[in-house]
Structure 1
Amino acid sequence: MRGHDRINRCLPDELLIEIFRRLLDSKPSRDACSLVCKRWLNLERLSRSTLHIGASGCPDHFLSRITRRFVNVKTVHIDERLSLPIQFRRRCGSESTSSYTKKRRYVKEKSGSEDSDFETSSISDAMLSVLGEGFSKLEKLSLIWCNNVTSTGLASLAQKCSLLKSLDLQGCYVGDPGLAAVGQCCKRLEDLNLRFCEGLTDAGVVELALGCGKSLNTLGVAACAKITDISLEAVGLHCKSLETLSLDSEYVSDKGMLAVAKGCPLLKVLKIQCVNVTDEALAVVGTCCLSLEFLALFSLQKFTDKGLRAIGSGCKKLKNLTLSDCYFLSDKGLEAIATGCKELTHLEVNGCHNIGTLGLESIGKYCQQLTELALLFCQKIGNKALLEVGRGCNKLQALHLVDCSSIGDEGICGIARGCRNLKKLHIRRCYEIGNKGISAIGEYCNSLTDLSLRFCDRVGDEALVAVGQGCSLHHLNVSGCHQIGDAGIIAIARGCPQLRSLDISVLQNLGDMAMAELGEGCPLLKEILLSHCRQITDVGIGHLVRNCSLLESCHMVYCPGITAAGVATVVSSCTNIKKVLVEKWKVSERTKRRSGSVITYLCMEL
């Protein structure tokens, strides 16, 4: 019956709150519910457990208000890299806005209006204390690049939020007293991120380890010049339950890593970028950390096959391995991993120039559980390696190749025939791969949904016709493949109705016919990039947007055939549009007035 409120009369508060909580991942839905009536507004506020906050002109005043409104919040993310527009912040009140003028930054937003000013300021220690008082149930807190937060504010918050389990202080210039207070008060702390915390020294980390070392599960340290082996020795001594360590430091050596490896036997995830760590430390990791599942080694200049052999001998549970810029590793080290870590599912080799075909062949022979393989800047790995992977790793679902000059069609054909569950194939600047290899992918890999072929000069229409006939793609990137023209994109349009995103930038032979086919065949398209496509005109754009009503993003700079009329067509026809990248001179004053907020300019003066 019209006008009869069936929901509010029948449903109790507890049930409505539970319904709102189940909408946790849908902010628009929650916001819409809060507008129904005052009761729903209040109940929706009670159901909120997570808040994301950017920088604002009056952050302290803003935080004081939300602590009164959302009393059951357990997770708060404050990121001062994110700006809020002045129009929104003025709602805080002019009296408070004028009181926070110490640190302001005005950014000209590249939108339709040239006066779209953005002002940012920083949260203070006083408001961090208010945050602690208002959110006493707080369990997770992120303070990203909050430059004005000091030990005083952090200590005050720690005293009030004893239930804190996760703390992210990335980019905050807090000192040792603040971190010591966290250790003394937050005995349940499990996750701590100290990346770019330049004000910390060993004293603060030692106090933290003494206070909450028993509960600490995850620790991240990067770019902290005053944190040395002394800190890691304290971690190894007191943090027996540590499972994840991420370390990027020039001031940590084998001494610190040895302490962690011997003292934290439950370690499962280890990511290190420390130029002074050698095989000696990795050998102890292989001996003591038998539960290790994820290992990432970046730029270890003193690391050789000896360390990798120790990992292969001891870490039988290893599933994910990343080797980046480790110049002294060779095929023998990778062979040790292959024979010892047969549960390996993810492997990335990036810039390790002494690893070649033999090393990867061993992976194909022994690591039958492999599901993702990434080879970046691997000049010595050839087709035989991928043939072996194709024969032995039939569970492979994702393959990434970047600047692998020795890999061609033969290797890709081997992958296609053997890895028929392949879902993602990303290739960039592999100039020996052409139509034959990609056609085989289209013929055999019918589960493929994500294909990227960036700047692969030998790939043309023939390959895309095969892919369109054999695969139902959701994502396609063929930017820079200059041999691709209308025929290839038309085949994709007719064979891939589920296509969501498409990058056809720098395709000089592509014209309006392909745009018309995309408009007819791909109604779910949300993102298209067609910059530097000189044959596409306003006519093609009109055909594209006629049926692609879900389009959210369109990049079309340096397209001489697209004029102000084409830009207007896009913004007026696509009700969901959020971003249009175009030259400034192609946007009419009328389009600026109607849709200036979604226009972004790449080149301001063209």
Structure 2
Amino acid sequence: MRKRMLSPSPTTDLTRRYPCKSTKKSHGDVPNSDTTPTRKQNDCFGSNHLKECRIFRKVLEEVSGEGCSTGCDNEDDKFVPISVPSNVKRNSEESAIDQTCCNDSDNKSKVFDQDCTKCEHDCQLTHATSSNCGTENPFTSCYLGSDTGEQQQPETCSKCGTENTFSSCYLGSDDEHHPAVTLHFNDLPILLKSQIFSYLTMNELLCTASLVCKTWYEAAREPGLWRRLHLDRPGMLDEDLWNVVGINANLSQLHVLDCRMLSGKGIAKALAGCPALKELIIMRCNQLKADAFCDIGEHCPLLAKINFSNTNGVPDAALEKIASHCSHLSELRLNRCSLISDESITQVARCCPKLKVLTFQENKKVTDASLQALCAFSHNIEVLSLHKCSITSQGIMHLHKLTKLRNLDLSNLSSLSSNSVGEAISNLPQLDTLNLCLSKNINDSCLHSIAASCKKLKYLFLVSCNITDEGLISIGRHSRSIEHLDIGWCEDITDRGATALSQMCSQLKYLGMVRCDQITEGCVARLVKEFPHIHYSTFLLDSQRLLEKAKRQGFQLNTV
């Protein structure tokens, strides 16, 4: 009895890549020829054959009525194939396809059997390569010719624009009656699979994707996926850190946030295997002591960015070693590192000439001596934050040496005088961002000096400063480039100052007026109407915007 034949659709040519066949033969009976390549039986991670066998078994059962001979009955093994459009029609004798009728050939290694349209025998389904696009296409007509008996004329492919003796090339045609060739995910190049896997999180890569099969395991551990690590699991242990960091010896970025179970020895051992590391962030890990930081400079000499904010265990000795070995350091953030003092900052200034970003917040041990050393040696600094440090008016007088300074934060420095701030900042022509919040000594005369000198100033923060309408008018007259201004909690600002500033600053996009109690609601409503391009921020306006956003998102508000 003749066996039931598969449809001549290219979709059914699964035995060219997978061990499942339409005929009930064991894997050992699969012909080992060029026309029937198969995968190894153990080409799967943790299984005897590919887990995607289930989806192909379904395809074969629907087309041929016969199941997979490999006996894969695991209903959880599911793969989704990727379809690449390709339409193929029957071709004639003149298409130079190596096909032979079963009556005239002794070739026994058939790919599929097919009812011949001319001789009514089972003829071989073979593949031919297009002479133009170089792709392989299956054809079903035997040497006797096609159904019509007419010669197939070359035609131009609607997709690739080349002439093919085939009625449509591998890239596809507009004929919807021809099915697409199915390309499995595992047949994609490793770089393409890695690019797809780059959209997965670390947990999805390690705990899900890498457990599917051997191919996925290798793709999930492609070194390119592990050049940047962001770790923020509070329960992470030292062993977990070592395993993840060890995947790629060329790790370039490592972010460790809120990992409170890690030890100093665990951090040190992990960093010892990262000689190419360029960016290191260790934040809010207060359990770490000096042993976690002392050898960072020796193990990671290429470091360019370091952030140890809110990590109290960083000592002066560790920072000095880092400065001595990491000459490429360009960004250093030490916010709330309570052990850092002038001694280590002076070493950083001397050894790191490429330093551009340096931030402190509430570092009580950072005094005028640190600022003086930075101004003397670190002339490339562009961003400097001294929020709530022990800086006085005498220290900021050295700021004029930082000619490239663009962003300066002098907020919450109660010992600064208005005249010293005005004089120091007036010598910084490149400044575009200035923060003077919570500085009660800042007055209108200081604002006049700043506005007249800093023509590139765009962002100015004056929350809770001692300024009046005259200071705002000075800003409007001289700082036409201002875009963002926050004057919240300035109790002496009235409708006059807010209106004048809105009229004179054509580039203004944001004006913060929270708790400016002398600015009336009527004035705010008029400004919102007259200057729609400016975002005004008051307690009432912000509350209304929040309620409107809640309504748009479907929240039901209780008006009782």
1:428 corresponding residue in structure 2? 488
**Share of identical aligned residues, percent?**
21
- Structure 2 CA distance for partners of 1:166 and 1:602, relative to 1, 3 Å: farther
SS at match of 2:486: strand
* 1:478-529 per-position Cα deviation (integer Å, ceiling 9, x unaligned): xxxx353654433235xx4xx7x6656527xxxxxxxxxxxxxxxxxxxxx5
Which residue number in structure 2 is paired with residue 562 of structure 1? none
Measure, in 2, the Cα distance between the counterparts of 1:77 and 1:366.
49
Is it true that 1:333 corresponds to 2:395 in the alignment? yes
1:45 and 1:383 map into 2 onto residues whose CA distance is 69
Identify the match of residue 413 of structure 2 among 330, 352, 357.
Answer: 352
Instruction: Give the TM-score taking structure 1 as reference length.
Output: 0.57
Q: Which of the residues 542, 554, 557 maps onto 1:599? A: 554
The 5-angstrom pairing of residues 236-251 of structure 1 reads 236-247=297-308, 248-251=310-313
Cα pair 2:251 2:277 within 8 Å, conserved: yes
**Letter aligned with residue 506 of structure 1:** L
State the Cα distance separating 1:374 from its structure 2 match: 1.7
Following superposition, the deviation at residue 339 of structure 1 comes to 2.0
Task: Check if 1:189 corresponds to 2:251.
Answer: yes
**CA displacement at 1:163 relative to structure 2:** 5.1
The CA distance in 2 between the partners of 1:398 and 1:220, in whole Å, is 27
Q: How many residues get paired?
A: 387
- Whichever residue aligns with residue 365 of structure 1, its letter is S
Partner of 1:574: none
Q: Secondary structure at the match of 2:481?
A: coil
Equivalent residue number for residue 580 of structure 1: 550
Distance (Å, rounded) in 2 between the aligned partners of 1:43 and 1:506: 58
Residue pair 2:514, 2:538 contacting (<8 A) in 1 also: no
**Does the CA-based 8 Å contact 1:356-1:382 persist in structure 2?**
no
* Residue 165 (str. 1) matches residue 227 (str. 2): yes
| 311, 314, 337: which one aligns with 1:252 | 314
**Cα pair 1:397 1:422 within 8 Å, conserved:** yes
Kindly indicate whether the alpha-carbon contact (under 8 Å) linking 1:334 and 1:362 is maintained by their aligned counterparts in 2: no
SS at match of 2:273: helix
1:318 maps to which of 381, 395, 411: 381
Relative distance call for 1:440 and 1:599 in structure 2 (3 A) is same
Question: What is the deviation of 1:414?
Answer: 2.3
Residue range with higher mean Cα deviation, 355-364 or 192-201: 355-364
Alignment match, 1:3? none
Which residue identity lines up with residue 555 of structure 2 in the other structure?
Answer: T
Contact 1:73 1:135 in 2 (8 A): no
Unaligned runs of 5+ in 2: 1-85, 88-156, 162-178
SS at match of 2:373: helix
The structural deviation recorded for 1:224 is: 2.0
User: Relative to structure 1, is the Cα distance of residues 242 and 455 closer, same or farther in structure 2, using a 3 angstrom cutoff?
Assistant: same
Matches within 5 A, 1:105-116: none
CA distance in 1, matches of 2:443, 2:380: 28
* Long gaps (5+) in structure 1: 1-6, 14-37, 50-68, 80-121, 139-156, 461-481, 508-528, 532-553, 558-578, 582-594
2:504 aligned residue: 444
- Choose the corresponding residue for 1:291, options 354, 371, 382: 354
* CA deviation after TM superposition for structure 1 residue 193, in Å: 0.6
The CA deviation at 1:43 is 12
Rounded to whole Å, the distance in 2 between the matches of 1:41 and 1:485 is 63
Q: Counterparts of 1:118-137 in structure 2 under 5 Å?
A: 126-127=207-208, 129-130=210-211, 134=216
Q: Deviations over 1:165-211 (max 9, x none)?
A: 10000134222223333444312211111111112122222222221
Q: Give the secondary structure class of the aligned counterpart of 1:354.
A: coil
Contact 1:426 1:453 survives alignment (8 Å): yes
Deviation at 1:447, TM superposition (A): 1.7
- What is the DSSP-based 3-state SS (H/G/I as helix, E as strand, rest coil) of the residue aligned with 1:451? strand
Q: Is the 8 A contact 2:511 2:536 kept in 1?
A: no
Letter of the aligned partner of 2:358 in structure 1? L
1:418–1:174 Cα change, 3 Å: same
- Whether the aligned pair in 2 keeps the contact of 1:312 and 1:341 (CA below 8 Å) is yes
> What is the match of residue 584 of structure 1?
none
Contact 2:515–2:538 (CA<8 Å) still a contact in 1? Answer: no
> What's the counterpart of residue 17 of structure 1?
none
1:410 lines up with 2:470 in the alignment:
yes
Q: 2:196 aligns with which of 73, 97, 111?
A: 73
Matched, 1:384 2:423: no
Question: What letter corresponds to residue 196 of structure 2 in structure 1?
Answer: V
Residue 40 of structure 1 and its aligned partner are, at CA, apart by: 13
- Cα distance change on mapping 1:126 and 1:77 into 2, 3 Å: closer
1:225 to 286, 299, 303: 286
> What is the distance in 1 between the residues matched to 2:397 and 2:158?
67
Q: Compared with structure 1, are the counterparts of its residues 177 and 504 closer, same or farther at alpha carbon in structure 2 (3 Å cutoff)?
A: closer
The answer to which structure has the higher helix fraction is 1
The C-alpha deviation readout for 1:371-397, integer Å capped at 9, x for no partner, is 111222111222222111112110111
Contact 1:232 1:259 in 2 (8 A): no
Q: RMSD of the TM alignment (CA)?
A: 3.8
Structure 2 residue 340 is matched with structure 1 residue 301: no
Residues in 2 aligned to 1:365 and 1:46: alpha-carbon distance in whole angstroms: 64
Question: Would the aligned equivalents of 1:372 and 1:397 in 2 still touch at CA under 8 Å?
Answer: yes
Secondary structure of 1:236's counterpart equals helix
Aligned pairs for 1:264-275 within 5 A = 264-272=326-334, 273-275=336-338
1:42 and 1:360 map into 2 onto residues whose CA distance is: 68
| Contact map agreement 2:257 2:281 (CA 8 A) in 1 | yes
Q: Distance in 2 between matches of 1:371 and 1:42?
A: 54
Q: Distance in 2 between matches of 1:299 and 1:486?
A: 39
SS in 2 for 1:394: coil
309 and 43 in structure 1: CA distance in 2 versus 1, 3 angstrom threshold: farther
- What are the superposed Cα offsets for residues 438-463 of structure 1, whole Å, 9 maximum, x if unpaired? 34423432122223322222335xxx
CA distance in 2, matches of 1:331, 1:382: 15
Match of 1:506 among 503, 528, 540: 540
Residue 599 of structure 1 aligns to which amino acid in structure 2?
A: G
Task: Judge conservation of contact 1:349–1:375 (CA < 8 Å) in 2.
Answer: yes
Q: Counterparts of 1:396-407 in structure 2 under 5 Å?
A: 396-404=457-465, 406-407=466-467
* Counterpart residue identity of residue 418, structure 2: T
Shift of 1:219: 0.6
Give 2:27's aligned residue. none
Distance 1:602 1:200 in 2: 45
TM superposition shift of 1:368: 0.4
Give the drift of 1:300: 0.8
Secondary structure of the residue aligned to 1:194 is: strand
- C-alpha separation between the residues in 1 aligned to 2:180 and 2:445? 67
Q: Secondary structure at the match of 1:580?
A: helix
AA at the equivalent of 2:529: I
Change (3 A) 1:124 1:320: closer
Distance across 2 between alignment mates of 1:41 and 1:483: 67
Specify the alignment match of 1:473 in structure 2: none
* Structure 2 counterpart of 1:489: 528
* Structure 2 Cα separation of the partners of residues 487 and 40 of structure 1: 65
Quick check: 1:365 aligned with 2:488?
no
Shift of 1:161: 3.8
Query: 1:309 and 1:321 mapped to 2: Cα distance?
Result: 13
Secondary structure of the residue aligned to 1:274 is: coil
- Residues 75 and 408 of structure 1, relative CA distance in 2, 3 Å threshold: farther
Q: Residues 388 and 227 of structure 1: is their aligned pair in 2 closer, same or farther, counting only changes over 3 Å?
A: same
Tell me which residue corresponds to 1:393. 454
Superposed CA deviations along residues 267-288 of structure 1, whole A, max 9, x for unmatched, are 1111112111111111111111
With the length of structure 2 as denominator, give the TM-score of the two structures.
0.61
CA distance in 2, matches of 1:11, 1:43: 22
Residues 348 and 483 of structure 1: CA distance in aligned 2, closer, same or farther (over 3 Å): farther
